[in-house]
């Protein structure tokens, strides 16, 4: 089983020592099975205001995944899957795709990328991903407790 950790889980870990400990335990148990999504990197970088924080993010999070070829960008297929899923969801919800927020579009792209990589998404944003699950067959779960070992 592969795993991708969502932006909100990383942010919680950056801000809360207990959450950081839980994330470190997850990394310790599942590091060989973890991927880092370029969508998550984008969202984390977009929230950084200080250059020093950007350097820390690169050094401590992005670089280790990059060195191990575990940094995964969305493919053209993931973008196409995202667009089709958003169209289907809008039809089910009686909405227009244009009414969805950019963040929700990022969530859809992240879900499509997880689906393509056979990864389970670890996220606190279970409501939005449950909506997306109606139109995409990907796996997600709330963090902690940790998933069962193989």
Residue spans of the domains in the chain: they are 2-138
Is the distance from CB of 107 to CB of 132 less than 8 angstroms? Answer: yes
Indicate the pLDDT class of residue 149, thresholds 50, 70 and 90.
Answer: low
pLDDT reported for residue 148:
73
Residue pLDDT, tens place only, 103-137? 999 999 999 999 999 999 999 999 999 999 999 99
Q: What pTM does this model have?
A: 0.94
pLDDT reported for residue 146:
75
User: What mean pLDDT comes out for the span 27-52?
Assistant: 95
Distance between CA atoms of 137 and 40, rounded to whole angstroms? Answer: 20
Mean pLDDT for all residues in the chain? 95
Residue pLDDT, tens place only, 8-29? 999 999 999 999 999 999 999 9
CATH fold of the domain at 2-138: Rossmann fold (3.40.50)
Alpha helices in 31-75 (DSSP H): 38-46, 51-57, 63-67
């Amino acid at each position: 089983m592969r795993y991708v950790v969502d932006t909100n889980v990383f942010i919680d870990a950056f801000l809360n020592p207990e959450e950081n400990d839980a994330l470190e335990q997850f990394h310790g148990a599942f590091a060989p099975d973890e991927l880092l999504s370029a969508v998550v990197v984008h969202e984390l970088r977009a929230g950084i205001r200080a250059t020093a924080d950007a350097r820390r993010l690169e050094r401590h999070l992005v670089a280790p995944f990059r060195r191990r070829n575990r940094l995964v960008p969305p493919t053209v297929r993931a973008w196409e899957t995202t667009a089709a899923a958003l169209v289907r969801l809008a039809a089910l919800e009686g909405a227009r795709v244009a009414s969805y927020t950019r963040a929700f579009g990022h969530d859809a792209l992240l879900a499509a990328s997880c689906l393509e990589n056979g990864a389970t998404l670890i996220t606190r944003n279970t409501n939005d991903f449950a909506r997306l699950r109606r139109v995409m067959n990907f796996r997600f779960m709330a963090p902690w407790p940790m998933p069962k070992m193989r």
